[in-house]
């Protein structure tokens, strides 16, 4: 059970703050009219919710990283941190359309022993693991991932990993409730 109150977006909209109403409208747009629990929690601080929404959308949809790679990173971080909320949001609904099979999603628990993932993906997963587990990335790991990305994409990949580490830490600390089944 969530450790903080999950707001009721309908009540917040009725309260009449036009900025909050506009934000709730944006939050509903991408989810067939619903507001995810992460945002119901974040709406306790509307400015944080708005900032989070903008940042996460930019990190997810506004970069040159391909969807498959993005989902591999996000799901790996979910597995490493035990973030059931992230796994449930991404597997299979977001992973499959971006070309990640359910078997690959499951293999991300222990990707190093898996038969899946090419050289580039393995370098990215090692980079993701180092950033998530160790924070400091060794030269060896960085040097293996670097040839696959220009400076722009290297920054985008690093910010994606850092953002989802922040995301799961907030989800886990506040014990956010899983979304109901669709």
Q: Which domains does the chain have, with CATH numbers?
A: 9-61 (no CATH), 67-173 (1.20.1290.10)
Phi first, then psi: what are they for 4, rounded to 5°? Answer: -130, 160
CA–CA distance, 158 with 63 (Å, rounded to integer): 12
pLDDT digits (tens, 9 = 90+) for 6-25: 988 887 766 666 778 888 88
Nearest to 4 by CA among 180, 174, 179: 174
pTM: 0.93
- Quickly count: other Cβ atoms within 10 Å of residue 94's Cβ: 16
pLDDT digits (tens, 9 = 90+) for 117-146: 999 999 999 999 999 999 999 999 999 999
CA–CA distance, 50 with 56 (Å, rounded to integer): 10
């Amino acid at each position: 059970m969530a450790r903080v109150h999950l707001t009721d977006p309908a009540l917040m909209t009725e309260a009449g703050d036009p900025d909050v109403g506009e934000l709730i409208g944006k939050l509903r747009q991408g989810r067939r009219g619903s507001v995810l629990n992460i945002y119901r929690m974040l709406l306790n601080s509307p400015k944080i919710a708005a900032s989070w929404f903008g940042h996460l959308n930019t990190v997810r949809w506004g970069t040159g990283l391909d969807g498959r790679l993005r989902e591999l990173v996000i799901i790996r971080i979910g597995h490493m941190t035990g973030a059931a909320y992230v796994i449930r949001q991404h597997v299979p609904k977001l992973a499959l359309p971006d070309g990640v099979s359910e078997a690959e999603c499951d293999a991300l628990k222990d990707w190093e022993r898996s038969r899946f993932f090419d050289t580039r993906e393995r370098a990215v997963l090692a980079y993701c693991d180092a950033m998530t587990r160790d924070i400091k990335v060794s030269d060896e790991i960085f040097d293996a991932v670097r040839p696959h990305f220009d400076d722009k994409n290297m920054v985008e990949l690093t910010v994606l990993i850092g953002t989802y580490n922040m995301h799961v830490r907030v989800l886990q600390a506040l014990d956010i409730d899983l979304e109901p089944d669709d």
